[in-house]
């Protein structure tokens, strides 16, 4: 059963339930009103008869006169003696000698009761007639309920007819409205089927700017499709980049091995090239493994208090040796800053930024390191005087395998475009931020913000 049909049946049933409750309440109310009108009429006639009834000196009831004809036209009146003899009756009752309500006549109580007499449905008021605390007779006033019964029957039939028509109209209206409201779901199903058949994640579900749940669902599905497309595109680019990066060192290794086979003695330069390319492959695999662990949440960070000033001094000492005399590395200013973090991973970030600066900065250039405590944050700056990064490349430098090679000339081989992606992940998982500023020909500045340990 479709969702549209289920909701239509639900709405129709709900409308039917409301109409049933409303109809029952109206039926009971109309019945009470009609019976009250009949009871009031019977009480009024009974009062008139009571005023016209006298008791003789011998104790016999005497009805001087019955009420006016307009009052008794719809009423049947009987006056009974204590011995059960009919003393007087209205002309409308004819020759009927039976009590209008035998049970009420025997009870000796004032009561309203429904009675069925010779196939007629009557409403009967029984009133004992008392004189000096002695019952001298009984008055019974009855009225036919045929009009009331007919009214109730017509009302019930009319309400059932209206309820059926209302449920049909509600069902038809719900079917049409739900068809219009649920039509975007058909678009979603159709689009997803087309994506599955064609493997085309660039398709999107048509969406009108409607502020409802289905509109929100379409927006969420489109966002999911966009994210999936981005992930698949990134995966394809990732595979292409890995294949490209692996092809070069493998080709070099294969060529050097072939060369070594042709000569009887091993060539030191070939061995060095093989070792260098094997090292590049090891670093590539290590970086990929680390990113895979980071993406899966399996890369654990060992947090502990870290003295950033000592760590940055250690990085400065090691990088100055790596730069030799080709590039000058300066440690400008350094404040005492303690953060909560993983010392090895933070050192990996700083080493990566400084080594990149050394690789991209031409001979005679300079690199500046600094650490400042600003409020409750520590700021680490790594600035070089290299060629800078083009503005169109800046938004992408933290993407995996992205290298702005067009204008930044790498002075030493070995990078794959994974270092900055790893650095960004480490900094962000320390609750910090890493930002970059660069202008072509004026160098590049990386700024890292980390929360100070309180």
CATH number of domain containing 417: 3.30.565.10
Q: Which of 273, 296, 319 is the last residue of a domain?
A: 296
Same domain, residue pair 313 and 266: no
Same domain, residue pair 349 and 435: yes
Are 168 and 16 in contact by the 8 Å Cβ rule? The answer is no
Burial of 82 (0-12, 13-18, 19+ CB in 10 A): middle
Q: Which of 261, 296, 331 is the last residue of a domain?
A: 296
Query: 382 lies in a domain?
Result: yes
Query: 90 lies in a domain?
Result: yes
What three-state secondary structure class fits 209?
coil
Count of structural domains, the chain: 3
Same domain, residue pair 99 and 138: yes
Please give the residue range of the domain that contains residue 332. 304-451
The secondary element (H helix, E strand) that includes residue 244 is helix 213-262
Q: Which of 101, 131, 151 is the last residue of a domain?
A: 151
Q: What is the pLDDT of residue 427?
A: 93
Those residues with Cβ within 8 angstroms of residue 75's Cβ, 6 or more apart along the chain or in another chain: 41, 42, 45, 90, 92, 141, 142, 143
Same domain, residue pair 133 and 77: yes
Q: What is the pLDDT of residue 265?
A: 63
Query: What is the four-CA torsion angle of 26, 27, 29, 31, rounded to 10 degrees?
Result: 160
Mean pLDDT for all residues in the chain: 80
Contacts 24+ apart (CB under 8 A), 188-193: 188/217, 188/218, 188/221
Which residue is it, tokens 């004189």?
A: 131
What three-state secondary structure class fits 222?
helix
Q: What is the pLDDT of residue 65?
A: 53
Are 335 and 307 in contact by the 8 Å Cβ rule? The answer is no
Q: pTM of whole model > 0.85? A: no
Q: What is the pLDDT of residue 311?
A: 95
Are 322 and 290 in contact by the 8 Å Cβ rule? The answer is no
CATH number of domain containing 230: 1.10.287.130
Those residues with Cβ within 8 angstroms of residue 429's Cβ, 6 or more apart along the chain or in another chain: 301
Are 287 and 422 in contact by the 8 Å Cβ rule? The answer is yes
Residues of the chain below pLDDT 70: 55-74, 94, 198-200, 208-211, 235-247, 250, 261, 263-268, 270-271, 275, 279-280, 282-299, 401-417
Q: What is the pLDDT of residue 410?
A: 45
Same domain, residue pair 259 and 333: no
Length of the chain (residues): 454
Same domain, residue pair 24 and 121: yes
349-363 pLDDT per residue, tens: 999 899 989 988 999
181-211 pLDDT per residue, tens: 777 777 778 877 877 776 667 777 777 666 6
Query: 161 lies in a domain?
Result: no
Same domain, residue pair 135 and 221: no
Same domain, residue pair 271 and 308: no
CATH number of domain containing 93: 3.30.450.20
Same domain, residue pair 15 and 143: yes
């Amino acid at each position: 059963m479709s969702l549209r049909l289920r909701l239509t049946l639900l709405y129709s049933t709900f409308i039917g339930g409301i109409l049933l409750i409303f109809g029952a309440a109206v039926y009971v109310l109309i019945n009470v009103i009609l019976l009250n009108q009949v009871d009031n009429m019977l009480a009024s006639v009974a009062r008139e008869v009571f005023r016209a009834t006298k008791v003789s000196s011998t104790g016999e009831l005497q009805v001087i006169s019955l009420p006016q004809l307009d009052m008794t036209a719809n009423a049947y009146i009987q006056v009974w003696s204590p011995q059960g003899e009919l003393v007087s009756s209205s002309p409308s009752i004819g020759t009927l000698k039976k009590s209008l309500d035998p049970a009420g006549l025997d009870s000796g109580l004032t009561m309203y009761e429904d009675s069925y007499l010779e196939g007629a449905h009557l409403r009967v008021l029984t009133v004992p007639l008392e004189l000096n605390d002695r019952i001298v007779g009984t008055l019974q006033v009855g009225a036919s309920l045929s009009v009331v019964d007919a009214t109730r029957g017509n009302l019930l039939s009319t309400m059932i007819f209206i309820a059926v028509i209302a449920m049909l109209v509600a069902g038809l209206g719900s079917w049409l409205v739900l068809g219009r409201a649920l039509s975007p779901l058909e678009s979603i199903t159709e689009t997803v089927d087309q994506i599955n058949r064609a493997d085309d994640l660039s398709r999107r579900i048509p969406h009108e700017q409607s502020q409802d749940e289905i509109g929100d669902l379409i927006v969420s599905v489109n966002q999911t499709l966009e994210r999936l497309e981005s992930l698949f595109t990134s995966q394809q680019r990732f595979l292409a980049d890995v294949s490209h990066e692996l092809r070069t060192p493998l080709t070099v290794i294969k060529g050097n091995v072939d060369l070594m086979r042709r000569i009887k003695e091993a060539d030191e330069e070939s061995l060095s090239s093989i070792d260098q390319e094997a090292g590049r492959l090891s670093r590539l695999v290590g970086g990929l493994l680390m990113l895979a662990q980071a993406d899966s949440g399996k890369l654990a960070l060992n947090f502990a208090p870290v003295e950033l000033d000592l760590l940055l001094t250690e990085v400065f000492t090691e990088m100055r040796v790596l730069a030799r005399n080709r590039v000058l590395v300066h440690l400008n200013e350094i404040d005492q800053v303690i953060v909560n973090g993983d010392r090895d991973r933070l050192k990996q970030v700083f080493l990566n930024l400084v080594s990149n600066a050394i690789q991209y900065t031409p001979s005679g250039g300079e690199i500046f390191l600094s650490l400042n405590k600003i409020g409750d944050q520590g700021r680490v700056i790594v600035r070089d005087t290299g060629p800078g990064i083009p503005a169109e490349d800046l938004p992408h430098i933290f993407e995996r395998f992205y290298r702005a090679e067009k204008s930044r000339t790498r002075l030493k081989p070995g990078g794959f475009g994974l270092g900055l992606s790893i650095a960004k992940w480490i900094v962000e998982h320390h609750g910090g931020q890493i930002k970059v500023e660069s202008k072509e020909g004026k160098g590049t500045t990386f700024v890292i913000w980390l929360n100070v340990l309180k």
